[in-house]
Structure 1
């Protein structure tokens, strides 16, 4: 089975959160179920816009790390999120909002989607961040397993 391509859409101010999530997705990666990509993997000298466009277009699953900084970023919100939601509407990708820090996100287009972690409680507000990320990883595993079924 070919791995599911996963695209991380996030504000660079949430890079540490993205790294924590990636660590919690390691079992999916090691099992060959997912192949992750984010913009920090763009090699020097490559067009960052082109690389992002290519990977966003081929992603089966887009993980949107939601925070006030994500919503404030014109590129994240107007380019990445907008395109991800267009692909979702066309049946080409799944989009999963992951609420990393408290913010007013419910009135955005992401508010219509089921978010992680459980009850959309921001990861930063859990007593144990590991517990929050484990909840997110289990939710992502369920999505990946659903996408992998014919």
Structure 2
């Protein structure tokens, strides 16, 4: 919508055309664009070029009030100690996009942050006299000395198809991801909350349990399992379910024309029904069933 309204014009290094000098193209934009998004992930931090050159220059211009830098936290990483760690990140509270049950909600917050930055930019950053005649609905951009790439459509998506093998593997990979997610979350909950203890137990290849104790008293107990008589799916059962097949929530694998995703049955109001969930979102949906009642305790 920002582009359709003419509020922004965008650039990224995938727009560098064949024969163009890569460093010069990037330098041209990093030294002139008014809003710079840092797409933060472990790969971003590990990249010497992104971290030491692009980010360093962006932060210099931010400090000089020549540009607005917005950290967009895509994936979980130790970003708070970086030079941009002092900036207010998006999505809200710096929660990584991949950890949101619905990624569209996360990216909406990113878009809203960009819109607010544009409003500040128009108010606070003086427009060079040479650009006063340019459209008031677009962010001023100095003309590029580099040749433009050939025009093309951005509508290049082709429908994909997924086999049953793809779906089965995705289900197994998701179960293992949820198992690690619960184990790590229980450890971190215990570390952050005195008096609480989180216990993870891997029962077998297809089942694990999670228990939370408060001052030695169990206050949450659940089991996650897959397979069995219930068929393909991942199931959550309140309490200990070591052999039975009863459950309080389930996840199934679905597909659209682009990707595999997970969907809850909607038996629990903590689980994000009707959303297309990533593996992270699915894990958070089940974890929410465990943790949300404790967060509501007085």
- Settle same-fold status: TM greater than 0.5: yes
DSSP-derived class of the 1:36 partner = coil
Structure 1 residue aligned with 2:60: 86
- SS of the equivalent of 2:76 reads coil
Matched, 1:67 2:28: no
TM-score scaled by length of structure 1: 0.81
Deviation sequence 1:34-53 (CA, Å, 0-9, x none): 11010000110000000000
Q: Return the structure number with greater relative CO, CA threshold 8 A, min gap 6.
A: 1
Alignment partner of 1:126 is 2:100: yes
User: Paired residue for 1:108, among 82, 89, 109?
Assistant: 82
Deviation of 1:108 (Å): 0.7
Question: May I ask how many residue pairs the two structures share in their alignment?
Answer: 124
- The structure 1 segments of at least 4 consecutive aligned residues displaced by more than 2 Å after TM superposition are none
Secondary structure of the structure 1 residue equivalent to 2:69: strand
Deviations 1:72-109 (A, max 9, x none): 00000000000000111111101000000000000111
Distance 1:66 1:141 in 2: 19
Q: Distance in 2 between matches of 1:102 and 1:122?
A: 6
Q: SS at the partner of 1:96?
A: strand
Q: Which has the higher strand share?
A: 2
1:136 has 2:136 as partner: no
2:17 paired with 1:43: yes
Mean alpha-carbon deviation: is it higher for 138-147 or for 58-67? Answer: 138-147
- Counterparts of 1:146 and 1:93 in 2: how far apart (Å)? 10
RMSD of aligned residue pairs (Cα, Å) = 0.9
Name structure 2 gaps, 5 residues minimum.
125-298
Query: Structure 2 length normalisation: TM-score?
Result: 0.41
Partners in 2 of 1:149 and 1:88 — Cα distance? 16
Q: Please report how far the alpha carbon of residue 149 of structure 1 lies from its aligned counterpart in structure 2 after TM superposition.
A: 2.6
2:6 counterpart residue number? 32
